[in-house]
Amino acid sequence: MRVFTPRVRPEAWATGRARIKRSWIVPFFTFDWCWEWVAYFLSNWKFLEVLEYMGSLSVLVAVLFYFSESGDRIKQRHYQAWQVINTAQGKGGSGGRIEALQELNADRVPLVGVDASGAFLQGVNLAGARLLRANFSASDLRNSNFRSADFTDADLRSANFRESNLTRSNFHRTDLAESDLNGSDLTQANLSGAKLDDADVRGANLSGIVWRDIGSLKDANIYNVKNPPPGFVEWAIQQGAVRTPDEDSGQSPQR
């Protein structure tokens, strides 16, 4: 902010003119002398100082309003994100849902009961998301990040999770029937009560999974799973799981 300091009264024109020895300098001196008086009068005009203070005060008020309304702006942003998700319900493609879901999750908004069935959400990042009772059935979720997500009671039937990060995710009582978990990372995932009938689990990393209370595994393909817990493969076969290689491998199914 500028501080107004009254200027020193300019000297008389005659006094200054007497110091000038060359006549061609006189017009320049006269021009400068006139502006010195203008500056002198303005520096003593308190109204300009008041305007300067008011300008600084208006900036301060604008900053205060900006921060006081930040909560409303966040609510508006969340409302718009939910609008995008709900409007695209039941439709294929992304429809802006990837960005909307990620934005809500980044702001720690629970995504409980969200319906994104049949959506193209490849590469979505919903690490740590609360997705209880969510519906991602038949959705394309390849190469996505659901690290530490909570899918309790969610409908993930026929969802495509190929090559996705599902480490430490909670699939308690989740319907994963006919889902594609080929090559996914299920390290330390909780599968208690989960339905995995006809799921493709080939090549998935099963290190440290919670598996003893899996709901069902009938015809789930566990061929070439990585780091299965001791006893898991034998138990899964007893529950009806199969070990079928890729169709192009030419190998016979195993039980």
pLDDT per residue of the chain (255 residues) written in tens, 0 to 9: 555 566 677 767 677 667 767 777 777 667 676 777 677 666 666 655 666 667 666 777 666 665 665 666 788 889 899 999 998 887 777 879 999 999 999 999 999 999 999 999 999 999 999 999 999 999 999 999 999 999 999 999 999 999 999 999 999 999 999 999 999 999 999 999 999 999 999 999 999 999 999 999 999 999 999 999 999 999 999 999 999 997 544 454 554
Amino acid, res. 91: K
- CB distance 123 to 104 below 8 Å: no
**What pLDDT does 50 receive?**
65
Tokens standing for residue 136: 């991602």
Tell if the pTM clears 0.85, that is, is over it. no
| Range list of H helices, 44-178 | 46-68, 70-87, 97-106
Cα 2–chain centre separation:
42
In sequence order, the β-bridge partners of residue 123 are: none
Tokens standing for residue 199: 């799921």
